[in-house]
Amino acid sequence: MPMPIAVMTSHTGTGDTVVGPGSTKVLCKGKPAVTMGASVSGAACVGTAAVSPNPQVLVENKPVLHLTSQATGSNPATGAPVTTPIIDTSATTILS
């Protein structure tokens, strides 16, 4: 199923932001595409985007993140573990 890919500044379900690093070679609407291992930072979760729903689609030899990719980390205030999906990709480019 085709899905929008995640880019720098995409948001998670908890409102946190994917901050990169992004690809220097693949841009969507002028923003770098992000791959597994990208950092996520915000008030609810600080961690990494670690699960891609389609690991066969690669950007710079790493699986690209899509809508519904999972970010895992911890809450910076409490230290509690957090898992949240990427829900806003800010891009309309579709990869299948």
Alpha carbon distance 82, 60 (integer Å):
28
In sign, the C-alpha dihedral spanning 85, 89, 95, 96 is positive
Hey, where are the domains in the chain?
3-95
pTM of the model: 0.83
The more confident residue out of 20 and 81 is 81
Q: What is the pLDDT of residues 31-89, one digit of tens each?
A: 899 999 999 999 999 999 988 777 888 888 888 898 889 999 999 999 999 999 999 87
Cβ(6)–Cβ(89) below 8 Å: yes
Second-level CATH architecture of 3-95:
Sandwich (2.60)
CA distance 63 to 51: 9
Measured between alpha carbons, how far is 15 from 96 in angstroms, rounded to an integer?
26
Residue that is written with structure tokens 């946190």 in the block: 16
